[in-house]
Amino acid sequence: MVTFDEYVAARSLALTRFAYVLTGDAHLAEDLVQSALLKAFRHWGKVARADSPDAYVRRIVVNTHLSWRRRLRLPEWPVAAPPDTPTGGLLDDPADLVGERDVLHRALTDLPPRQRTVLVLRHYAGYDDADIARTLGCTEAAVRGYASKGAARVRAALSISYQEAPDARA
């Protein structure tokens, strides 16, 4: 049986990356992982005996994230002008890749918590619908619905972003 200290040393970076994809904020991701690890520590005997302690802790991260999102509504911060966006062509400049990631990040950030969580678990963590349903405590049909609606919203946000972007190569 792996000790809690060994687990944290081995998996904290991966958990923080996972939390970052869920939250979209590095500092909030670190706080989320700390809170989740505190919960895991309190029940470490049960967590360590689980078939997959990593899956167990990820579920704690997801549940903690969703409970935070319910309690805490993050404010929107208006800006004078929208940021520059990439044109969507071939990426000759590394800055374009950063812009591409930023557009995707903003699209994911605007999703409701469950839709975002389903997309992250599916595309980042590689969970199938059954695993996601178990993690979120809902049906597989609900997972497919969240995924469909979330993906549609991301596609719409991406297409709007690229339609508004000026073509710098023209």
CATH number at 128 reads 1.10.10.10
Q: Can you tell me the distance from the alpha carbon of 120 to that of 78, in angstroms, rounded to the nearest whole number? A: 26
User: Is the domain of 58 the same as that of 23?
Assistant: yes
Q: Can you tell me the distance from the alpha carbon of 99 to that of 153, in angstroms, rounded to the nearest whole number? A: 19
**Predicted TM-score (pTM) of this structure:** 0.56
Q: How far is CA 50 from the centre of its chain?
A: 24
User: Is the domain of 100 the same as that of 160?
Assistant: yes
User: Is the domain of 22 the same as that of 55?
Assistant: yes
Given a contact cutoff of 8 angstroms between Cβ atoms, the answer to whether 24 and 108 are in contact is yes
Structural domain count, the chain: 2
79 in a domain, yes or no?
Answer: no
| Residue type (1 letter), 43 | H
Burial of 22 (0-12, 13-18, 19+ CB in 10 A): buried
In the chain, the N- to C-terminal Cα span, in Å, equals 61
- What range does the domain containing 107 cover? 94-164
- Please list the pLDDT of the chain residue by residue as tens digits (170 residues): 889 999 999 999 999 999 999 888 899 999 999 999 999 999 999 999 999 999 999 999 999 998 876 555 545 556 666 655 544 444 456 676 677 777 778 888 888 989 999 998 898 888 999 999 998 899 999 999 999 999 999 888 877 765 655 554 44
Given a contact cutoff of 8 angstroms between Cβ atoms, the answer to whether 31 and 67 are in contact is no
